[in-house]
Amino acid sequence: MSAYGYRERKFFVEDVPFDALAAAYGTPLYVYSKKTILGDIRRIEQAFHGLPHLTYYAVKANANPALLRLIAGEGLGADVGSRGELWRALQEGFPPERCTFSGVGKRDDEILYALEQGILAFNVESTQEIEVINELAAQVNKRARILLRVNLDIDAGGHAYVSTSLRHNKFGMPHARALEVLRHAASLSNIDVGGVHSHIGSQITKPAVFTKAAEAIAALVSGLRAGGVPVHDVDFGGGFGIQYHGFVHHRSLPAEHAEEAHLSTAELLQPAVEVLRSLGCTVSIQPGRSIVAHGGVLLTRVLYRKETAEKIFLIQDGAMNDLIRPALYHAHHQIVPVELVGAPFETVDVVGPVCESGDFFAHDRRIQVMQRGDLMALMCAGAYGYVQSSTYNARPRPAEVLVDGGTHTVIRRRQTVEEL
């Protein structure tokens, strides 16, 4: 059952009304639901049930220390994309032997730090990177386990910025070169070849895309084995699409429909899991969004209502610096009122106060008539929300609060102007 819903007219997360959180901590405010995050981890684990696998949470999706601690406590590993993420993950209890390091551009100091900490593996993306890791590992007398990220040339759909496995993208090595690259890697003194990795994109909602990727990997693995490269590990990446449209249902909310029907994580991945099962490898996955997106909400307050000949604007105290996904990817976040007042619907632009026309949360959105002072909840904002926030326009970053049943705790306090 969802942790979000209306009781009488008020919108609640678990047993806490959003208006109480706004009164206690101010707005804009990120609010997380522990129950939702734990439930989503379990759903992912169920989707891979029956396939021996390791789950590495993609820290880039949300690196709040308390949330990392929560996720580490569930026994997951961490996939990091920088020294900072690795440091943070280790601080919050992820054991180094359950950390992997991905990313197309790792600095020497980042590689050395990861070697010193004894992480499980590097997901590498070029021959030069493999050679650098080999040299650095030799310097500190360590061995580095690598998985080669392959570019499968698969169109993951969705926004171009989150599609990562097309031939022209910067990520991975062309799959046709994997044998040559891994043979070379295996010849290096301080490298252990684990296998291959792919991450084809983010917010993928079509099972066929994952199946195609799994089949391409299966073909690659047999080709590599036939060519004398033993493959023990396959890292299938993340990218599991989640429901953004119509996440909260209520008869007093306008109905929202996505272009395609929403599938559960299990439905999305089941055919791919069948293919991966046949590989005889240890499979790992790197979900980010599907673990934390539904668990987070950005709570904002209407500062002004402005009506022009063309539009009604609801100007919020939250802005693109707090949540950039609509501006960056034209992403959709359902927006629901924190109090249902029985007012009719109208069509509005929901915008922030920043000096850019790109500073919007929604264009032409149906929502109940709202007034100055009313609170709104932007749903499914737990992934790529706070982590992509900035202090643009010298706006301090919002606070973050974790709700657990009837209790709520500040897990990162609001930045002050003096800290800018």
Ligand X SMILES: Cc1ncc(COP(=O)(O)O)c(C=O)c1O
Catalytic sites, residue numbers? 355
Nearer to ligand X, 240 or 361 (CB): 240
Helix (H, G, I), strand (E, B) or coil at 376: strand
Nearer to ligand X, 33 or 123 (CB): 123
Q: Which of 111, 104, 118, 63 is nearest to 83 (CA)?
A: 111
Q: Which of 14, 16, 25 is nearest to 301 (CA)?
A: 25
Distance in Å, CB of 164 to ligand X, minimum: 7
The count of other CB atoms within 10 Å of the CB of residue 215 is 16
Nearer to ligand X, 287 or 326 (CB): 287
Stretch that binds ligand X, among 56-64, 91-99, 256-264, 353-361 (CB under 6 A): 56-64
Question: Segment 336-355, which members bind ligand X (CB under 6 A)?
Answer: none
* Under 8 Å between Cβ of 267 and 207: yes
151: left (phi over 0), alpha (psi -120 to 50) or beta: beta
- Please tell me whether residue 382 binds ligand X under the rule CB under 6 A: no
Binding mask 145-164 for ligand X (x = CB under 6 A): --------------------
Nearer to ligand X, 51 or 410 (CB): 51
Stretch that binds ligand X, among 45-53, 54-62, 113-121, 314-322 (CB under 6 A): 54-62
Tokens of 128: 């030069």
Nearer to ligand X, 104 or 179 (CB): 104
Binding mask 77-96 for ligand X (x = CB under 6 A): --x-----------------
Q: Give one DSSP letter per residue of 95-137, joined into a string.
A: -GGGEEE--S---HHHHHHHHHHT-SEEEE--HHHHHHHHHHH
Distance in Å, CB of 341 to ligand X, minimum: 36
Distance in Å, CB of 351 to ligand X, minimum: 26
The count of other CB atoms within 10 Å of the CB of residue 255 is 9
Nearer to ligand X, 211 or 290 (CB): 290
Binding mask 96-135 for ligand X (x = CB under 6 A): ------x---------------------------------
* Under 8 Å between Cβ of 285 and 48: yes
Give me the helices (H) in 240-388, please. 265-277, 289-292, 325-329
* One of 58, 338, 348, 403 touching ligand X (CB under 6 A): 58
- Please tell me whether residue 62 binds ligand X under the rule CB under 6 A: no
Report d(CA 47, CA 265) in Å as an integer.
Answer: 6
Stretch that binds ligand X, among 188-196, 231-239, 338-346, 398-406 (CB under 6 A): 231-239
Distance in Å, CB of 238 to ligand X, minimum: 3
Length reported for the chain: 420
Return all residues near 212 (Cβ < 8 A) that are at least 6 apart.
154
CA angle 108/111/117 to nearest 5° reads 140
Distance in Å, CB of 199 to ligand X, minimum: 4
Note if the bond before 28 is cis, omega within 30 degrees: yes
Q: Which of 152, 269, 263 is nearest to 200 (CA)?
A: 152
Question: Segment 268-327, which members bind ligand X (CB under 6 A)?
Answer: 286-290
- Please tell me whether residue 199 binds ligand X under the rule CB under 6 A: yes
Report residue 211: phi and psi, to 5°.
-65, -45
Q: How many residues bind ligand X (CB under 6 A)?
A: 17
Nearer to ligand X, 164 or 300 (CB): 164
Distance in Å, CB of 151 to ligand X, minimum: 12
Question: Segment 237-256, which members bind ligand X (CB under 6 A)?
Answer: 237-240
Report d(CA 217, CA 209) in Å as an integer.
Answer: 12
Distance in Å, CB of 240 to ligand X, minimum: 6
Report d(CA 307, CA 148) in Å as an integer.
Answer: 55
Nearer to ligand X, 287 or 318 (CB): 287
Report d(CA 380, CA 296) in Å as an integer.
Answer: 6
Distance in Å, CB of 233 to ligand X, minimum: 15
Binding site for ligand X (CB under 6 A): 58, 60-61, 79, 102, 199, 202, 237-240, 286-290, 383
